[in-house]
Chain A
């Protein structure tokens, strides 16, 4: 079946350094790639998303890149801060239907002071 692979499963970076999380997807029909952040004991929250008609999108310290040919997309967090510590999920779907969304297995990001 369709799936989304996410790496690494855990990531520890020094405060102020950058963090990169990578995902690959299998369904070539996917055209919407959201990233969710889940803090401890809470539900995931959308932090950034990208559609297949663009290769990169940036929002302050976070950015997402997409390579449709290789079916890769990545989340980049610069100047990491303690509040960035959380579990991050990538996902892939058709933009018109959230019921078809496939989630990656998550990355636990820890920011070292």
Chain B
């Protein structure tokens, strides 16, 4: 059974760096083809893809946010970490992590964590 859970601060101040952790179970990030993605959703708005990291440490970022994002993995801890620099109120959103595999993309999602950016 694949599960993912996002954790991190619920409130950050403008200009601060956000660090979110995705802790997962039921799969290994050392298995060929497997990856973990990050997606966010501002309140009442559409999904926006942020980043992906694969089993071989290959990383992909949203072109519009690439300069602000870093994604890393700790295979031994079954965790993926997303950092986003220079946070702004427009970055207020629910942040999700999701499992992806060659069979199907983003087929298992975490419950999401709401991050509010406010001074």
A and B from one assembly? no
Give the B-binding residues of A (Cβ under 8 A).
none
Give the A-binding residues of B (Cβ under 8 A).
none
